Structure 1
């Protein structure tokens, strides 16, 4: 009996060792699988840059050596992998090419307009700056202005926070109906409490305005959405029926949007000429107007430092082809084109990558320079705030609009 008991105990011990051994093997296999998944994600980002990034030289990096280095590392967590990928992308020296964590990717794809703020990241200081606050949005109602620097979001410092993390932090949980923003404006910190209500983003607003020298069609283009050209045609058709003599197109605080919307809207105003030139890895290509203009009546375009990206394409095309007079202040100067895509990884992460840039019809690269208006006119900050509070943009109380109206009146008289 004693011997049998001892043998039984040995058998149980051996079984225990075997079970423990299987557990170790399974754990090791799981670790190998996880490591492969981490490295696959690193390699997918590397391959995307290798195939799609605007510069074939990849900022003069030995890109193959970079791949070898980052794939030779061991990764034990998603956070470690994400950090390594962002570190790899920083070698490009392009703040607009960034890895997006699952939370960041979700923030910009499920709620792209949020509280109505469009941001940019200063390449020198890394600060988050407001390009514009969209009309009718909580940010617009609160008085957030282009050029404001976001210092804190809900009491948390934004120092060291990149652009897409900034957008993620601006997301409003359903349980909280308020966002507290601390901004720096001319060295002074201001706090804004934004009450979050439902708001509608409409890309085109227009009105008929009767004037002694001739009636005016005022069209406000807030953003270049996918259906922007359709809405613009509808506005012009309606205003043409009312026999307007000329138009004011307001592109102020328009952060851009869909590139093809900009070129389609340009064709509504232009009969011929180059609209924009795009430059990518394959070279340069021109997009031209194709004799589909809806009207040839006089046109004045309003721009400011919140006019960016695709809206600069539209303004630049109208200016370079001498179709319109630009009034306002120098524009943003963002002529880079990004592709934002979800990566194959099941974790929901994504990538924003610069795939091209554009030049004006005259071949100018306006990056960080912007377009210079034909007539420059600044509006004081105090006046901007009062115009926002009173809803008086695009009225005679608006100095830039008043100047545009004066210039348009002269153009109408000259045409007649």
Structure 2
């Protein structure tokens, strides 16, 4: 029986070897020169021997299909944090997610140094409202530890029926002990783009993720507000999305030149994406806001605008996700496949995003803007006994006008601005750029 078993695996190995050579288009000539046919055959034989040994001697009775699936998952997990094997169940879950018929938390997660880390919470989702923050490390999902868990397993645990509860145990920088956050799952509906105004001359554009409609919605917002003298592009906690949308958004502000390029292991396969003047919508001064939750496509946009000297980037260092994944089917019915990293993104200057992120031109931390304390003892002109009454009346009139300003969901008020230090810093810089342009 043993000889029959191993004969079977040797046949599988030989067939795999033939198949590998038939689809060898991804390998360069130097790869084949460095690895002999004999070595390749021996490696495949070793794999089949291990699988056969596990099937025959492992303490539990595991079927061959399950062993192979586990081997494939382990292989992909060892490559990098983003490559993965997708079985039929995983494919089905992806289809459910695409149709929007699943309950979720509204967070994007990734593996950083082996730890399950929140890349960013999505605006106005259960996780965002519950207080989950970018950079939080997830220790437990309900009672399940995330130690040695795969990214797909973690996502599967966090999904569930809408209106069902879940508990996350988090480690947060600056906190002395883990934080327990209770969340109620819900259908995740995302508004990817919305716009507001700041004062009379600043347009605020918030992009929460790069879905298929970002370029259309941003074009509408910019064309609708042609009179504004400067733009704040807020990409904080934006986990990324579609590459073509990142290219389109950058193209709105850049006349020419490379926006981003991607290179695989064969440098001759480099692909470049460039800006065209026909797609440029505006040349007004621009400030981009980023933080640790800005990843992938948002890093491409902020990095390209920074390299082209088209925008001032303000905030905190970004996440550093600059790799390209594709889904390749491995079965005839395309019900199973692998998500494989095939390339890395490179910015116009040639620098990579992967594991380094984008360093802002101006570092600004989250929180409220420090303001003058009422307890501080200071004497001003208005406190003098014989101050100029006419001027004081004018100032007071302006202050009353500001206080009586109607609250509008399309307007960011002065009070809201002072609650967001990064936004306030960005606005101050933008106003300086507007003055300089005059």
Task: Please point out which of 254, 272, 275 is paired with 1:286.
Answer: 272
Aligned to 1:398: 420
Task: Please point out which of 44, 62, 69 is paired with 2:46.
Answer: 69
TM-score normalised per structure 2 = 0.74
Are the equivalent residues in 2 in contact too, given 1:52–1:355 (CA < 8 A)? no
Q: Structure 1 CA distance, aligned partners of 2:248 and 2:141?
A: 37
**1:259 pairs with 2:248:** no
Aligned to 2:177: 188
Deviation at 1:307, TM superposition (A): 0.7
Deviation at 1:104, TM superposition (A): 3.4
Show CA shifts across 1:331-357 (max 9, x none): 111110111355426694432100111
Structure with the greater relative contact order (CA < 8 A, sep ≥ 6): 1 or 2?
A: 1
Are the equivalent residues in 2 in contact too, given 1:136–1:199 (CA < 8 A)? no
**1:370 pairs with 2:357:** yes
**1:204 pairs with 2:204:** no
**1:415 pairs with 2:427:** no
Q: Structure 2 CA distance, aligned partners of 1:164 and 1:363?
A: 32
Are the equivalent residues in 1 in contact too, given 2:161–2:186 (CA < 8 A)? no
Deviation at 1:285, TM superposition (A): 2.6
Show CA shifts across 1:111-159 (max 9, x none): 268321111112x3x2100000111111111110111111111221111
Q: After TM superposition, list the pairs within 5 Å mapping 1:3-402 onto structure 2.
A: 65-71=42-48, 73-74=51-52, 76-90=63-77, 92=79, 94-111=80-97, 114-122=104-112, 124=113, 126-173=114-161, 177-186=164-173, 188-211=177-200, 215-240=201-226, 243-280=227-264, 281=266, 282-291=268-277, 292-344=279-331, 348-379=335-366, 395-402=417-424
**Structure 1 residues 129 and 288: alpha-carbon distance in aligned structure 2, compared to 1, 3 A threshold:** same
SS in 2 for 1:144: coil
Q: Structure 2 CA distance, aligned partners of 1:40 and 1:398?
A: 63
**Structure 1 residues 199 and 366: alpha-carbon distance in aligned structure 2, compared to 1, 3 A threshold:** closer
Show CA shifts across 1:233-266 (max 9, x none): 11111111xx111100000000110011101111
Are the equivalent residues in 2 in contact too, given 1:101–1:350 (CA < 8 A)? yes
Show CA shifts across 1:205-226 (max 9, x none): 1012224xxx110000000111
**Uncovered stretches (5+) of structure 1, i.e. residues with no partner:** 1-30, 384-390
Are the equivalent residues in 2 in contact too, given 1:309–1:333 (CA < 8 A)? yes
**Structure 1 residues 272 and 65: alpha-carbon distance in aligned structure 2, compared to 1, 3 A threshold:** farther
Deviation at 1:43, TM superposition (A): 8.8
Are the equivalent residues in 2 in contact too, given 1:42–1:85 (CA < 8 A)? no
TM-score normalised per structure 1 = 0.78
Are the equivalent residues in 2 in contact too, given 1:42–1:70 (CA < 8 A)? no
Aligned to 2:382: none
Across the aligned residues of Structure 1 and Structure 2, the Cα RMSD in angstroms comes to: 3.7
Show CA shifts across 1:89-110 (max 9, x none): 3554x22222123333433442
SS in 1 for 2:148: coil
SS in 1 for 2:352: coil
